[in-house]
Amino acid sequence: MAARVGKDTFEAEVLKSEKPVLVEFYSDTCIPCKQMSPVLGDIEDDYEEQLKVVKVNVNFDAELAADYSVMASPTILFFKDGEEVTRLRGLQKKADIEAVVKILV
């Protein structure tokens, strides 16, 4: 299961990660976010050696969401070498997420 990160751990876990990072900005009350959870779990299992998967709860870390202009949940940001590479918004199919992951890893 993806680790939850917040403002205090975001830099160390995401920006300074040696591996590319998938960051899901989510809300506990968001139905599409709940639907994404098993998909992201599969991605995490399939790419565990090459990709880090973490989550940011927008209710508890609204400032972090604002820093990255996240306006809706779920939003998935992909980071490599400390920089945002791309993002996906809304409910996504596993194949669409994997297409981005395969470019990063």
CA dihedral in degrees (66, 98, 93, 4; nearest 10)?
-40
d(CA 50, CA 19): 6
d(CA 16, CA 35): 29
Beta-bridge partner residues of 80: 83
Task: Give CA 35 to chain center in angstroms.
Answer: 14
Catalytic (active-site) positions: 30, 33
Q: Is 74 helix (H, G, I), strand (E, B) or coil?
A: coil
